[in-house]
A and B are shown apart, each in its own frame.
Chain A
């Protein structure tokens, strides 16, 4: 009887599951798909980076492009033509060779309007003829992609976009096993049919439970891959994920719940780093009062962003007076310094001295505790400093998107928004505010000078002159017009013990390829 009792206790005790080569990741949401052309989102991207490799891969320290399936490349003098030399030993996990034609076919599949890839815009923005094919104005023959021979792939751009190379690691530019897709059709992503070319292949997929990938022995760089398995857990509840990490059930947890940030900050395994993105409010410029730049500037200058990030968000965020976050080659704009007296003066000049007569304005945000706290802070701040009345409205995500995008922002005067960069270039932030960009420019700000400058910079070759033109454009966006109100630049809130795991480094794109991760001896 005693023996049985002891056995029962032993069976209950949680055994620390630390099998040498297994890396367990808290991956946020259940992925929409494992087909790189049908996804969008960070959890999907993390899985993609383990299973596939594009022409270029990501440097684990900087997230900059390093050779992937392409071992080298040349760029023409005018910056428009790229020729990639593919590795001869690049094969699929079933042994079939990856050729330049595979790359052409894969990218055409992404552009194919039938595929309806959400991120085809990354290709249509830079590749010649891509937009016409994607919007059904022309056929695939006009797209600037060519297989010069089995090992040489050529792409022709419509402008010398210097960020194009860095984008090629993104899943929009995935190289896909076209032979498997042809054979299995829609079922090609099922574990039993799986074929991919990355450091890992799909071993198991239990929806809402876990995705297990195991080392791909046919990967050209398999010798460098130290992990046997990576397990991705889609965890809806951030609190549970955090608990799992603290309890040793996860090795890397990607999001720390805001309510437990103070607890996390005390730990050495809390990785708090800059993240390439901006949290901001959009001003509705289709009607008063924010059709007047003076009112917009007044509101922006009345905020104390330092207090907001220290007392409200507490995640180590960077107060932001400009929109484009710091990146190499681009110095962030100074913006308009916070100054309550100046703000009051501007509001007076706009016709509302001491806030008298200023209409009640409403902030629209998508339902979430953290957005609510920020909105409440701003509401209070503006009421105190400017003497105005501010209301708050929250809507569930899809409803909020619908409202924000209806051409008049649902009648609300501001809407909360956030943007994470897809690649490290100011264009990825500034293109959103072009006058005709109705997908993003929800406040309908219009400035033809800005449009011209952005278009000009976009057509220039890489270099400081190009960056200067972007800076002039952002000066108009922020300092001259205050078209939007940046609040802070994002930070990441990862939990991982880098004393136990090497090869994981914080970087501004928050990309951590599992290829380089290994348990420390």
Chain B
């Protein structure tokens, strides 16, 4: 088992390397560059800047230089935000995205699984229909609608919450509520539906029927036997979901003014800020790969049918 774990972990490195290489070349294909402005720079000045950032060298040389820098942990200077480098921006924004992501996903998991379990146990009841309707709304209504609607009601009309801001920037703790609610909704929805479906399936299975036949009580059946099986699809969903929620929360971060990684992700692309784009891509990919890896391992522990040799 340990050998498997180590092998798998080492396998992440070439994957990350391929992602970095492909991204490096793809972003340079887009028209325009970091230094194409409306007020064009004189030719000699532009030449100077390009020399300073090594943009005048051949792509392969630039690539080689970049790889060596990464190996030393240096993600380079930002082409657009000139006062700090990429490492700094990632260092200050990643924790915000992580906290927002973790809080939202945790809430989504707790609420989603409970809802899924209850709905499955009481299939076709009012509570089942109600919770699945909420789930459909959660999946269909986009974040950029939910966010402003929540802001309109709770901040503007009812005056209960501040419109925006973030607890980790020093604002009141109530600033986490609306972003969390907005981001939790779609994930809660998916998890509720997933766990409901898998619970229903598990409830029909032979081993649960056996447990019932043996006379075990409902709570014991649900929590000791059904839960593990029902959770399997949720667990495999969680890996990419976590990575997605950390940087995919760009919409929520923009609407609620949260200084997270997601905002740099999009802005750097629009600014053609090559180094910042690469930095965010590397972080996102690393999180995605690691989370998938962890999920695989957990899956192995949870499902007795799977064995790693």
Minimum CB–CB distance for B265 against chain A, Å = 12
The interface size bin for chain A is 35 or more
Among the 9-residue stretches B42-50, B198-206, B238-246, the one with 4 or more Cβ atoms under 8 Å from chain A is B42-50
Knowing A207-B259, A243-B151 are in contact, say whether A121-B84 is a contact too (CB < 8 A): no
**A113 proximal to B (CB < 8 A):** yes
CB closest residue in chain A, given B53: A116
Interface positions, chain A 209-257, Cβ under 8 Å from B, are: 209-210, 233, 235-237, 239-240, 243-244, 246-247, 249
CB closest residue in chain B, given A418: B38
Minimum CB–CB distance for B274 against chain A, Å = 12
Contact with B along A130-145 (1 / 0, CB 8 A): 0000111000000000
CB-defined contacts of B174 to chain A, threshold 8 Å: 11-12, 14
Among the 9-residue stretches B120-128, B154-162, B182-190, the one with 4 or more Cβ atoms under 8 Å from chain A is B154-162
**A13 proximal to B (CB < 8 A):** yes
Minimum CB–CB distance for B244 against chain A, Å = 20
Interface positions, chain B 241-259, Cβ under 8 Å from A, are: 254-257, 259
Among the 9-residue stretches B5-13, B28-36, B135-143, B222-230, the one with 4 or more Cβ atoms under 8 Å from chain A is B28-36
Contact with B along A21-50 (1 / 0, CB 8 A): 000000000101111001010000000000
Knowing A30-B81, A233-B257 are in contact, say whether A396-B39 is a contact too (CB < 8 A): no
Whether B84 lies near A135 (C-beta < 8 A) is no
Interface positions, chain A 386-410, Cβ under 8 Å from B, are: 396-399, 401-403, 405
Interface positions, chain B 157-181, Cβ under 8 Å from A, are: 159-164, 166, 169, 172-174
In the bound complex, CA of A117 to CA of B44 (Å): 12
CB-defined contacts of A186 to chain B, threshold 8 Å: 83
Knowing A190-B83, A233-B257 are in contact, say whether A401-B32 is a contact too (CB < 8 A): yes
Point out which of A13, A119, A135, A243 has the most chain B C-beta atoms below 10 A from its C-beta: A243
In the bound complex, CA of A385 to CA of B30 (Å): 38
Whether B272 lies near A398 (C-beta < 8 A) is yes
**A120 proximal to B (CB < 8 A):** yes
CB closest residue in chain B, given A205: B83
Whether B159 lies near A121 (C-beta < 8 A) is no
CB-defined contacts of A240 to chain B, threshold 8 Å: 148, 151, 163-164, 254-257
Contact with B along A98-116 (1 / 0, CB 8 A): 0000000000000001101
Q: Label chain A's interface by main secondary structure.
A: loop
Whether B32 lies near A116 (C-beta < 8 A) is no
Minimum CB–CB distance for A350 against chain B, Å = 32
Knowing A35-B82, A189-B83, A237-B254 are in contact, say whether A135-B44 is a contact too (CB < 8 A): yes
Whether A209 lies near B257 (C-beta < 8 A) is yes
**B92 proximal to A (CB < 8 A):** yes
Minimum CB–CB distance for A154 against chain B, Å = 25
Whether A12 lies near B161 (C-beta < 8 A) is yes
Whether B52 lies near A243 (C-beta < 8 A) is no
CB closest residue in chain B, given A34: B83
Interface positions, chain B 80-95, Cβ under 8 Å from A, are: 80-84, 89, 92-93
**B263 proximal to A (CB < 8 A):** yes
CB-defined contacts of A246 to chain B, threshold 8 Å: 156
Whether A401 lies near B159 (C-beta < 8 A) is no
CB-defined contacts of B38 to chain A, threshold 8 Å: 401
Interface positions, chain A 314-344, Cβ under 8 Å from B, are: none
Whether A243 lies near B163 (C-beta < 8 A) is yes
CB-defined contacts of B40 to chain A, threshold 8 Å: 405, 439-440
Whether B37 lies near A118 (C-beta < 8 A) is yes
Whether B82 lies near A33 (C-beta < 8 A) is yes
**B110 proximal to A (CB < 8 A):** no
CB-defined contacts of B43 to chain A, threshold 8 Å: 135
CB-defined contacts of A266 to chain B, threshold 8 Å: none
**A311 proximal to B (CB < 8 A):** no
Minimum CB–CB distance for B108 against chain A, Å = 23
Whether B31 lies near A403 (C-beta < 8 A) is yes
Q: Which single member of B32, B36, B160, B272 contacts A13 (CB below 8 Å)?
A: B160
CB-defined contacts of B264 to chain A, threshold 8 Å: 208
**B41 proximal to A (CB < 8 A):** yes
Contact with B along A1-28 (1 / 0, CB 8 A): 0000000000111100000000000000
Minimum CB–CB distance for A214 against chain B, Å = 16
In the bound complex, CA of A32 to CA of B80 (Å): 6
Minimum CB–CB distance for A442 against chain B, Å = 11
CB closest residue in chain A, given B151: A243
Contact with B along A429-464 (1 / 0, CB 8 A): 000000000011000000000000000000000000
CB-defined contacts of B159 to chain A, threshold 8 Å: 13-14, 247
CB-defined contacts of A13 to chain B, threshold 8 Å: 159-160
Whether B39 lies near A121 (C-beta < 8 A) is yes
Whether A14 lies near B39 (C-beta < 8 A) is no
In the bound complex, CA of A142 to CA of B148 (Å): 57
Whether B166 lies near A209 (C-beta < 8 A) is yes
Point out which of A34, A40, A190, A206 has the most chain B C-beta atoms below 10 A from its C-beta: A206
In the bound complex, CA of A16 to CA of B296 (Å): 49
CB closest residue in chain B, given A189: B83
Minimum CB–CB distance for A20 against chain B, Å = 20
**B220 proximal to A (CB < 8 A):** no
Whether B44 lies near A208 (C-beta < 8 A) is no
CB-defined contacts of B302 to chain A, threshold 8 Å: none
In the bound complex, CA of A246 to CA of B80 (Å): 32
CB-defined contacts of A401 to chain B, threshold 8 Å: 32, 36-38
Whether A116 lies near B45 (C-beta < 8 A) is yes
CB closest residue in chain B, given A236: B254
Whether A116 lies near B49 (C-beta < 8 A) is yes
Whether A118 lies near B39 (C-beta < 8 A) is yes
CB closest residue in chain A, given B79: A32
Whether A40 lies near B37 (C-beta < 8 A) is yes
Interface positions, chain B 101-152, Cβ under 8 Å from A, are: 148, 151-152
CB-defined contacts of A398 to chain B, threshold 8 Å: 30-33, 36, 270-272
CB-defined contacts of B270 to chain A, threshold 8 Å: 396-398
In the bound complex, CA of A136 to CA of B174 (Å): 56
In the bound complex, CA of A439 to CA of B39 (Å): 7
Whether B161 lies near A207 (C-beta < 8 A) is no
Point out which of B148, B155, B264, B270 has the most chain A C-beta atoms below 10 A from its C-beta: B155
CB-defined contacts of B162 to chain A, threshold 8 Å: 14, 247, 249
In the bound complex, CA of A499 to CA of B37 (Å): 39
Minimum CB–CB distance for B96 against chain A, Å = 9
Residues of chain B touching chain A, judged by Cβ–Cβ distance below 8 Å, are 30-33, 36-46, 48-49, 52, 80-84, 89, 92-93, 148, 151-152, 155-156, 159-164, 166, 169, 172-174, 254-257, 259-260, 263-264, 267, 270-272
Query: Would you mind naming 9 contact pairs between A and B with Cβ atoms under 8 Å apart?
Result: A13-B159, A32-B81, A113-B45, A240-B164, A249-B162, A397-B270, A398-B33, A403-B31, A440-B40
**Supplied contacts A116-B49, A240-B163, A398-B36, 6 more A-B pairs, CB within 8 Å:** A14-B155, A14-B172, A34-B83, A207-B92, A240-B256, A439-B40
The 3 closest A-B pairs by CB, nearest first: A398-B32, A208-B259, A439-B40
